[in-house]
Amino acid sequence: MPHDIPEPQVGRAKSTDPNPATSSPDKRLFNTVELRLFRYTAVLFSLVALATLIGIIVWSFGWIVNAFYNLLLSLSLAGILALVLHPVVEFLERRLRLPHLLAIILLLLIFFVAISGLIFLLVPVLVSQAIQLMTVLPDILASWQARFSSHFPELSTMISNRMESSDGGEESQPVVKDPGKVIMSSLGVLAGISFVPLFLFFTLLSGNLLRGKASELLSIFHNPTRQKVLYFMDVFVGYVSAFFQGQLIIAVSMGILYALSFTLIGLKFGVLVGLVLGLLNIVPFLGTLIGLLVVLPMAYFQPDGGIELLLLTGLVFAAVQLVESWLLTPKIMANHSGLHPALVVISLFFWGTALSGIIGMVLAVPLTAFFVAIWSEIKTSLKRSLSNREARS
């Protein structure tokens, strides 16, 4: 009986190895270490590109601010005043049942009459003290130099030698190299500030219509993108409004405390110096830092001054700073910015340099708080996406 011989199965032989990956050679171009290295290189390149892009944007923004400084200064002042005064307009409309236009006109009349009254009351004192200061300033500087030379002769000699060597025997140059340019720049600043009331009126008149216009302009984007942009706009406006509404009250309060305290301890030009330092505190810490550098030497070197007046002036700075830190800021600001004091100082220098001057320093805190809020929102979105991905896996 013939046996059935199985036909050979050509081309259909199957491997008996249950794991084909181990029997076939690895055909990947790169191993795990190389892939990880490529991934890290891509991340590093992306970070460098992002930092470069941010630097270009900041530089371009600073150039635009420098080129249109007078216009942006007047618009910034008008916008800040509008954010501060807008709640008052809403209060007049709600309580007195006034039309929107009439409420704005009444508010501007009261505001400018109050400013004019303060100027009428304070300007004679400030002008007289400023004239006296300009009159005695050369003598004060000469007495400071004499006392400094008597107390620190070696350091004074070294500074004098350095200044003489830097002059190089050349003839003294005028302090102002281009008086015409300085005069035109000053006139431009004054002209820009003169438009502040007009810009303020139209900004208050627009009211909440600006947000509607912004929403209309963003209608070309998808609804989630438009809502996110509008959310960040509301966050920025909220930070700016809360910051300046509180900081103006704090600055005026500190100016009054400084002026009264300096006058009581017998510091010359106390009203002028106190009010100026208080208003400078619209930019956080600016008035205090300038006051410590300028007022303490004034207290020590004035004719009836000395160690006692110096200590009293230092106590005034400490007392006013404690009142500001422990009473005014917690009650008025309620920690709206949420920024660490060190970050506030760093932001002042950064934005003051990036935006070329006082505009950057004034907007430093709200801008930094705004970017911190954006970063917090980005972190929240990343955490939410990672948690959703882990839940799906």
* Other C-beta atoms lying within 10 Å of the C-beta of residue 83: 20
The 3-state DSSP class for residue 264 equals helix
Provide the domain count of the chain.
1
Give the per-residue pLDDT at 164: 60
DSSP string, 326-373: IIIIIIIITTSS---HHHHHHHHHHHHHHTTSHHHHHSHHHHHHHHHH
Domain that holds residue 367: 31-150+189-383
Q: Residue count of the chain, please give it.
A: 393
Q: Which residues of the chain have pLDDT under 70?
A: 1-28, 30, 122-123, 125-126, 129-130, 132-133, 136-137, 139-141, 144, 147-148, 151-152, 154-156, 159-186, 188-189, 207-208, 211, 333-341, 355-357, 393
Is 159 part of any domain? no
Is 7 part of any domain? no
Is 110 part of any domain? yes
Strands in 25-64 per DSSP E: none
Is 228 part of any domain? yes
Q: Which tokens go with 164?
A: 């003489």
Is 181 part of any domain? no
Among the listed residues 246, 222, 231, 214, the one whose alpha carbon sits nearest the alpha carbon of residue 376:
231
Is 290 part of any domain? yes
Q: Classify burial at 67, counting beta carbons within 10 Å of its beta carbon; exposed 0-12, middle 13-18, buried 19 or more.
A: exposed
- DSSP 8-class letter at 324: I
Is 47 part of any domain? yes
Is 94 part of any domain? yes
Q: Would the pTM of this model clear 0.85, i.e. be above it?
A: no
**CB of 369 closer than 8 Å to CB of 340:** no
Give the per-residue pLDDT at 10: 47
Give the per-residue pLDDT at 315: 92
